[in-house]
Amino acid sequence: MAVGIAQLPLVYLAVRTIETARQRGIADLFTDRVPALAARSLALAAVVTAGCVVLGVGSAFLVTRTDLPGRRVFGVLAALPLAVPSYVAAYAWVAAVHLVDPLFGFEGFWAAALVLTLCSYPYVYLPAAAVLVGADPAAEEVSRSLGRGSWRTFTGVTLRQLRPAVAAGGLLVALYVLSDFGAVAILRTDTFTRAVFSYFNFGLSRPALVLATVLVALTLLLLAGETATRRRGARYARVGGGTGRPASRLRLGAARGPALAALAAVSALALGVPAVSLIRWFGEGVSRPGSLSEVSSATANSVGISLAGAALTLLLALPIGLLVARVPGPVSTVLDRLSYLPHALPGVVIGLSLVFFGINAVPRLYQTGWLLALAYAVLFLPLAVGAVAAAAAQAPPELEQVARSLGRRPIAVFRTVTLPLISPGIGAAAALVFLTCMKELPATLLLRPTGMETLATRLWRHTTVVEYAAAAPYAALLVAIAAVPTWLLVSRAGVLSKGGD
Amino acid sequence: MASLTVHGVVKSYGSVTALSGVDLTVPAGVLAAVLGPSGCGKTTLLRCVAGFERLDAGEVTVGDRRVAGPGLHTPPERRRVAIVPQEGALFPHLSVAGNVAYGLGRAARRSGRVDEVLALVGLAGYGERMPHQLSGGQQQRVAVARALAPRPPLVLLDEPFSALDAGLRAELRRDVREALRADGATAVLVTHDQGEALSMADQVAVMRDGRIVQAGPPAQVYGQPADAWVADFVGEAALLPGTVHNGVVATPLGELATTGGAPGAATVLVRPEQVEVLPEPTGAAVAAVITRKDFFGHDALLALQLDGGGEVSARVFDAAAHQLAAGQRVGLRVRGPVLTFPN
């Protein structure tokens, strides 16, 4: 049922594609543009994912497992880019580069790769840090005692334990890049999403449809590849009971300086550049007449619709996540993968498919916030499913069996054992979804009730007409509001509480 | 308190048969041990009784209630069968008192039952602690208390002591047995440790390849094993070839008295404590060489190579025997009648 709702846009896409193919013939659908766009989109996804894995795992390790000075501060800083929407970062970079050298055009493939990597590496960093904090240090100690040095232990034992978390995070990054629209549009990189959006904008639904279909195919390939590399049935939970000790910290010694410099550089690029750029424009923005009431109503709209979206998403994600974690098998794998699919579709496609769905199936919902909340749920289900599944692994089935043998019904067992154990993970999922809803742009543009402006749509509107000063207050607010759930997320990941000492 | 009857239980996972017709009867109030090597199906049997697995065939009866059988599968929460898992599996988000009270109703929680069972397992006053503040042995005591708290008619223990060190294990075994006795619970303990089974249980069932091969009081299983495999599994044993005729059996250890046994070729069971070691190979004694000595403090186990071929082991207790060393030549004599299994 939950998965079914998430598949609405796909069904729409399939129906329309078949319709078009019947009218025009399949060969007519593929032009020279498709392979070029496909190559560029895939290359961008690959480069950004690789960059995110290196940055994410590297900073997670430095923050949680070494004696790096200021690691608690860096633990927080490394998660904060989540609060900077990719299109804000892209705009801030363009503006910043423009300040330094007005003639240098900061655009194209590598500019997009840099900005997207800096925006999305927390998707790898956060789960990796959580695993590093929670992993049983005994396995690493055993490896050391078997004669493996600290580096070989890191690559042979620690990284292996990180694998599921990094794979899930990397998959999210790749899907995020494939579906990102704002950053690539601002940085003038021609990818599928930008092409789809411009075709739709010009009322050319047929080529947009073709591109969206190829994008779905690429997503399927990506998911299949990830499944193939994942070792089946491998569980990375700690074997045995007792209580865990915190891992001993690696002494960096002479590497301290370079490590510190590397982390500081990443933070400066990911946070410093947007911050400087925003602050420079912010002063001019707030002094505009009438801006305060405009800003506050947009804020209220953003928070309200994002809360509704997060609630709906979790409602759908809970059964899927639990099923995936508890009943490993072909059925749950298919369900899990299916829930990922819509995430890779551009928000434009989701948005338009739900417009279609709203007008034809549920006219009462059309032009209400509920349809937008549904779009959020469809878009961000994978985020929530991943978090719920990871949380469910914190409540091993043995505990539920013991609880049932003590005479509690399954529903009571869920309430008294499973739920308390997984609720921290659920909280993290809710925060992540809320945060992402706040940042969502294309679907919001298409599905918001007429006249409803959110922070994101106002920011977009001002940015597209090069009103940098007018856009700055929205960007700053968006970043500030999104920083709250980011903070929650970081403290849940244990980077804060266990990062010190 | 209720009896447990397992009859003809079959359970397979795909092509792997874990249980192939298990029969087991545990009278009310008895502590029974299911003893078998790893992979013999003993944990599967426990899970079938608890209701975590569905039977392929056979039936399970607790007291006068049939809980599993053809077309019947009572869910675990309605069986009133408590389980103590291998690693304790305490609920990490609940205090010790919260764990113990988990299976209790509201009235029972107020009646002081929690403190009562905590005292029973020797953890009075620990109620406010969280599981991660306890040692492994204490966690296992809490797991036992949690299982006992709702006064279940049947308690299942799945190798509950295997993760603990030896000293702690012996102490915990005694305490858990006392707690089970004090509560009058019927209990089934699954273990691969024959010392644990023999010392704790009122009744021992030896399991092999998904089948119970022998069940009875510990002394009977040890003293009159059903076959050579059981004899070897439940304790140190030397199995020698022999020929039975007229109530005696001819072996490399000489002619030995035997109880019963059909005439003809047979396998002869000689326990280490039956073998008496003399400092010199004199008179009627059989000559042998000590090949290894394992010293345990209170006794020592000698491995011996017989001059006539074959190996036996001997347990020696007295101080004089402790002077013996590997390589020394000694004489052997067998005390009491030996058991024979026809080939």
* Tally of CB atoms within 10 A around A147: 7
d(CA B15, CA B193): 28
Is residue A308 within 8 Å of A369, Cβ to Cβ? yes
SS (H, E, C) chain B: CCCEEEEEEEEEECCEEEEEEEEEEECCCCEEEEECCCCCCHHHHHHHHHCCCCCCEEEEEECCEEEEECCEECCHHHCCEEEECCCCCCCCCCCHHHHHHCCCCHHHHHCCHHHHHHHHCCCCCCCCCCHHHCCHHHHHHHHHHHHHCCCCCEEEEECCCCCCCHHHHHHHHHHHHHHHHHHCCEEEEEECCHHHHHHHCCEEEEEECCEEEEEECHHHHHHCCCCHHHHHHHCCCEEEEEEEECCEEEECCEEEEECCCCCEEEEEEECHHHEEEECCCCCCCEEEEEEEEEECCCCEEEEEEECCCCEEEEEECCCCHHHCCCCCEEEEEECCCEEEEEC
Strands B65-69 and B57-62: antiparallel
Q: Is the pLDDT of residue A206 over 50?
A: yes
Q: Which is more confidently placed, B276 or A487?
A: B276
Is residue A346 within 8 Å of A215, Cβ to Cβ? yes
Spatial CA neighbour of A269 closest among A379, A375, A111, A494: A111
Sequence-distant (≥ 6) Cβ neighbours of residue B191 within 8 angstroms: B33, B34, B35, B42, B159, B161, B162, B197
CA A403 to chain B, closest CA, distance in angstroms equals 7
- Residues of A with Cβ-Cβ distance to B131 under 8 angstroms: 243
> Per the structure block, which two tokens stand in for B335?
């005390």
**Contact between chains at A403 and B139 (C-beta distance less than 8 A):** no
> Per the structure block, which two tokens stand in for A476?
């700053």
Stretch among A12-16, A101-105, A343-347, B251-255 having the lowest mean pLDDT = A343-347
Q: What's the pLDDT band for A237 if we cut at 50, 70, 90?
A: very low
Stretch among A21-30, A213-222, B234-243, B270-279 having the lowest mean pLDDT = A21-30
Residue A435 is which amino acid?
Answer: L
**Contact between chains at B163 and A240 (C-beta distance less than 8 A):** yes
Q: Calculate helix-pair angle for A369-392, A159-179, nearest 10 degrees.
A: 170
pLDDT digits (tens, 9 = 90+) for A393-410: 777 888 888 888 888 888
Spatial CA neighbour of B206 closest among B183, B169, B182, B231: B231
**Contact between chains at A401 and B50 (C-beta distance less than 8 A):** yes
Q: CA distances (Å), B342 to each of A227, A316, B213, in order?
A: 57, 67, 17
pLDDT digits (tens, 9 = 90+) for B34-83: 999 988 889 899 989 988 888 999 999 998 899 999 989 888 888 888 88
Sequence-distant (≥ 6) Cβ neighbours of residue A85 within 8 angstroms: A119, A182, A439, A441, A456, A478, A482
Spatial CA neighbour of B57 closest among B187, B189, B210: B210
> Per the structure block, which two tokens stand in for A130?
């959580």
Q: Is the pLDDT of residue A167 over 50?
A: yes
> Sign of dihedral through CA atoms A457, A461, A464, A470?
negative
pTM above 0.90, yes or no: no
Q: Which pLDDT does position A235 carry in this prediction?
A: 41
Q: Which pLDDT does position B9 carry in this prediction?
A: 93
d(CA B80, CA B77): 7
Give Dmax (Cα) for chain A. 74
The phi, psi pair for A191, rounded to 5°, reads -120, 180
3-state secondary structure of A66: strand
Q: Which chain B residue has the Cα nearest residue A406? A: B103
Report the C-alpha dihedral over residues A238, A241, A243, A248, rounded to 10 degrees: -40
Write down the mean pLDDT value for chain B.
Answer: 87
pLDDT digits (tens, 9 = 90+) for A286-317: 566 566 778 888 888 888 999 999 999 888 88
* Among the partner residues A243, A402, A409, nearest to B132 by beta-carbon distance: A243
3-state secondary structure of A361: coil
d(CA A405, CA A395): 16
Q: What's the pLDDT band for B322 if we cut at 50, 70, 90?
A: low
Question: What's the N-to-C CA distance of chain A in angstroms?
Answer: 47
> Sign of dihedral through CA atoms B31, B37, B41, B47?
positive
**Contact between chains at B82 and A405 (C-beta distance less than 8 A):** yes
Strands B81-84 and B154-158: parallel
Is residue B295 within 8 Å of B251, Cβ to Cβ? no
Q: Does B93 touch chain A (CB under 8 A)?
A: yes
The phi, psi pair for A496, rounded to 5°, reads -75, -55
Q: What is the DSSP letter of A78?
A: T
Q: Which chain B residues in 119-158 lie under 8 Å from chain A, judged by CB atoms? A: 131-133, 136, 139, 146-147, 149-150, 156
CA B76 to chain A, closest CA, distance in angstroms equals 5
Is residue B158 within 8 Å of B3, Cβ to Cβ? no
- Residues of B with Cβ-Cβ distance to A242 under 8 angstroms: 87, 136, 139, 163
d(CA B158, CA B154): 13
Q: Which pLDDT does position B208 carry in this prediction?
A: 92
pLDDT digits (tens, 9 = 90+) for A244-294: 455 556 677 777 888 888 888 888 888 888 888 888 877 666 566 566 778
Q: Choose from A77-91, A195-209, B144-158 the range with maximum mean pLDDT.
A: B144-158
**Contact between chains at A405 and B75 (C-beta distance less than 8 A):** no
> Per the structure block, which two tokens stand in for A489?
């997320």
Question: What's the N-to-C CA distance of chain B in angstroms?
Answer: 43
Spatial CA neighbour of B333 closest among B265, B247, B243, B273: B273
Alpha helices in A361-467 (DSSP H): 369-392, 397-405, 410-413, 419-439, 442-447, 455-464
Q: Is the pLDDT of residue B16 over 50?
A: yes
Sequence-distant (≥ 6) Cβ neighbours of residue A148 within 8 angstroms: A156, A157
**Contact between chains at B103 and A410 (C-beta distance less than 8 A):** no
* Among the partner residues A241, A417, A421, nearest to B139 by beta-carbon distance: A241
CA A209 to chain B, closest CA, distance in angstroms equals 46
Spatial CA neighbour of B233 closest among B220, B219, B222, B218: B222
Q: CA distances (Å), A342 to each of A11, A336, A380, in order?
A: 11, 12, 8
Phi-psi region of A85 (alpha: psi -120 to 50; beta: other; left: phi over 0): beta
Strands B286-295 and B300-306: antiparallel
Is residue B213 within 8 Å of B229, Cβ to Cβ? yes
Q: Is the pLDDT of residue A498 over 70?
A: no
Is residue B266 within 8 Å of B300, Cβ to Cβ? no
Q: Is the pLDDT of residue A485 over 70?
A: no
Stretch among A479-483, B178-182, B268-272 having the lowest mean pLDDT = A479-483
> Per the structure block, which two tokens stand in for A323?
């099923």
- Residues of B with Cβ-Cβ distance to A405 under 8 angstroms: 50-51, 76-77, 79, 81-83, 147, 156
Burial class of residue A224, CB neighbours in 10 A (0-12, 13-18, 19+): exposed
